[in-house]
Structure 1
Amino acid sequence: MKDEMNNVQMLLFQDDGVIPNHPSLPVLLYKGTWATDFSRAETMLNRNGWGNSWINGVFDYHHYHSNAHEVLAVVSGFVQLILGGEKGQKVYLQTGDVVVLPAGTGHKRLEASPDFRIAGAYPAGMSYNTRTGEPGERPKVLREIQDVPIPDTDPVYGKEGPLLELWNQNKT
């Protein structure tokens, strides 16, 4: 487990008044995780208990999911995202990188290579919504974010992964 933990970067974002982000769970960034066989990323996510999956891209506007955590695994190419809202942090992801976004975490595509493809999935195949920070949705989404449970598995490592340790020690 120690080697897996060394490959994981944690990023924590505050509510910026538009994008709520998660109040206690950090974004987890796994660099170069599946670099040798990333064509099977969606299958691997599903095998590790993350379903309702898809392969596509990332929207070019700020959005988040208030009722589900999300994993994004770069299948090909590269992308630069901004996480956490307009004043958040830019991250560069390439083939083999995985990012786990706790419910409420804003994300937006800034640029991507022409061959960019990403696999997305949700714990236990949860259904997800898409929110953009509209003022009227705020009270409801803040409750929804708090109600999303910690997943039973890590999307990359399954039952033994760093997500379980890191998120269980950070939950409120």
Structure 2
Amino acid sequence: MHEHRRDGAEILFLRQDPEIPNNPRLPVVVHRGAVAPDAVAAEAMFRRHGWRPAWRGGIFDTHHYHSNAHEALAVVAGQVRVQLGGESGVLLDLSAGDVVVLPAGTGHRNLGADEALLVVGAYPDGAAPPDQLHGALAERARALHAIAATPDPATDPVTGGAYPRG
């Protein structure tokens, strides 16, 4: 993994994990304190920038990823520790107001959250319904093909600007 900052955001490039492919072209983007701690405000921000709010809830506590869709997660209440990229990945502590953007293929799981945790999830407008994969060897070839075939996000869901590339 290597990291740098761009316009105040943390930019994380994750390596492939033995089970989780991650994304070879696009980084994870972490925006700290990017949105008011309110689900409606997060959904409005996503809509303004071409991302479709799709759900409110928590984050699964098992490694999983979406091979055919990018996902933005806005923490609107509480706090959570997540692991990104699989067992060999990075740990992040996220709090209300933080947004993390996961390119297709990026593994993520909840390592512990307080009872107040509420997350708003969103996908780029026009994205296919996201699949949910867990790192099984049998799914890897199909997942790598789907990740490569998933169009890059047109915008960053927080800034509305261009999504960073590798």
Q: Normalised by the size of structure 2, how large is the TM-score?
A: 0.91
For 1:21-170, list aligned pairs within 5 A.
21-35=22-36, 39-51=40-52, 53-126=54-127, 127-158=129-160, 161=161, 164=162, 166-167=164-165, 170=166
Q: Tell me, what secondary structure is at the counterpart of 2:43?
A: helix
Give the direction of change, closer, same or farther, for the CA distance of 1:6–1:47 in structure 2 (3 Å limit). closer
Larger fraction in strand: 2
Q: Tell me, what secondary structure is at the counterpart of 1:25?
A: coil
Tell me how far 1:46 sits from its aligned partner: 2.0
Counterpart amino acid of residue 23 in structure 2? H
Q: Tell me, what secondary structure is at the counterpart of 2:6?
A: helix
Give the direction of change, closer, same or farther, for the CA distance of 1:74–1:122 in structure 2 (3 Å limit). same
The answer to whether the 8 A contact 2:81-2:92 is kept is yes
Give the direction of change, closer, same or farther, for the CA distance of 1:74–1:45 in structure 2 (3 Å limit). same
Tell me how far 1:47 sits from its aligned partner: 2.5
Structure 1 portions without partners, runs of 5+ = none
Give the direction of change, closer, same or farther, for the CA distance of 1:87–1:18 in structure 2 (3 Å limit). same
Aligned length: 161
For 1:33 and 1:52, how far apart are their aligned partners in 2? 16
Q: Tell me, what secondary structure is at the counterpart of 2:41?
A: helix
Tell me how far 1:153 sits from its aligned partner: 2.0
For 1:96 and 1:31, how far apart are their aligned partners in 2? 7
Larger fraction in helix: 1
Greater shift in the superposed pair: 48-57 or 60-69: 48-57
Give the direction of change, closer, same or farther, for the CA distance of 1:78–1:124 in structure 2 (3 Å limit). same
Greater shift in the superposed pair: 41-50 or 142-151: 41-50
Structure 2 portions without partners, runs of 5+ = none
For 1:61 and 1:36, how far apart are their aligned partners in 2? 25
The answer to whether the 8 A contact 1:52-1:125 is kept is no
The equivalent residue for 1:16 is 17
Give the direction of change, closer, same or farther, for the CA distance of 1:165–1:152 in structure 2 (3 Å limit). closer
